[in-house]
Amino acid sequence: MTDQTTIFARIKKLLALSKDTCNLNEAAVAAQLAQRLMEQHKIAEALLLAEDETFETPISEFELDDEPKRLPTAWKVRLAGVIAKLNGCAILFKKGNHSIGRKTTINIFGSTANVSFCMSMWWYVVTSVEVLCRAALKRGEGKGQRWANSFRVGAVDEVCDRLKKGKEEAREEARKTAAEATTTNTMAMVKVEGALAKLDNELDRVNGFLNAKYRTTHFNLKDTRRDGQAYAAGRAAGAKLNLNLNLRQGNELKG
């Protein structure tokens, strides 16, 4: 099995986005490959655990925010929530005090490895979506803040939908490999399903940690009025990002 240091070195290289040297197609391919690598790595780790053994790594907390605003931007919260859930993490709002300059932040919780990956992926997708949005505005497809925000939401929804499918395809690949091995190892499928269950239980472990440590206030970040045409354009732009999992190994960013 490839060690964690090697996996994260590859992921870091894949997510080293440079707007000046990489086009959006390369960026999307890199993001999808990184998610696939991470999922494969986690499955391999879970397979090494004994049947009654669970992950016991400490829960880490990091602030995931980039704007000096009173509340985080809704489309970025949406993206953070999906990426976190896909990778056994959870997000939590920490309410600030705007009168003393302390803003409300998005904080992400999970194992250090999972949180590090989520943060890298979140920043990477945010950057890609912003590049897409600026390009659409420059082409004259729309104008104004409302149009831009609607576009971003559409692009994020499209990418998140496809990333969810990508994770499921990665898991089906593990199941297929186990099914093919049943001729020589009748327990192969049972072990894979057990490993996937351990990964799914990681989110419950993180949520249990949050419930035990914090008294939280839950509130919804409502979208601003949405421009339907811009939202559709965003989804169309997101759909053009090459997130196909059927990629050959070694297909990485240039530059």
Q: pLDDT tens across 113-132, in order?
A: 899 899 988 888 888 888 88
User: What is the 3-state composition of the chain as percent helix, strand, coil, each rounded to the nearest 5?
Assistant: 60, 5, 35
Tell me which range, 31-40, 164-173, 197-206, is most confidently predicted by mean pLDDT: 197-206
251 has a pLDDT exceeding 60: no
- Name the band, by pLDDT with cuts 50, 70 and 90, for residue 215: low
In a domain, 255, yes or no: no
Number of domains in the chain: 1
Looking at residue 12, its pLDDT comes to: 78
Looking at residue 74, its pLDDT comes to: 83
In a domain, 244, yes or no: no
Looking at residue 246, its pLDDT comes to: 39
Contact 12, 120 (CB under 8 A): yes
In a domain, 211, yes or no: yes
pTM value is 0.78
What is the residue-averaged pLDDT of the chain? 77
In a domain, 250, yes or no: no
Residue with tokens 């194992």: 111
List the domain range (segments joined by +) for residue 101. 4-239
What 3-state class would DSSP assign to 62? strand
In a domain, 235, yes or no: yes
Looking at residue 164, its pLDDT comes to: 81
Contact 72, 106 (CB under 8 A): yes
In a domain, 251, yes or no: no
What 3-state class would DSSP assign to 18? coil
In a domain, 252, yes or no: no
- CA dihedral over 163, 116, 110, 196, signed as positive or negative: positive
- Name the band, by pLDDT with cuts 50, 70 and 90, for residue 42: very high
In a domain, 29, yes or no: yes
231 has a pLDDT exceeding 70: no
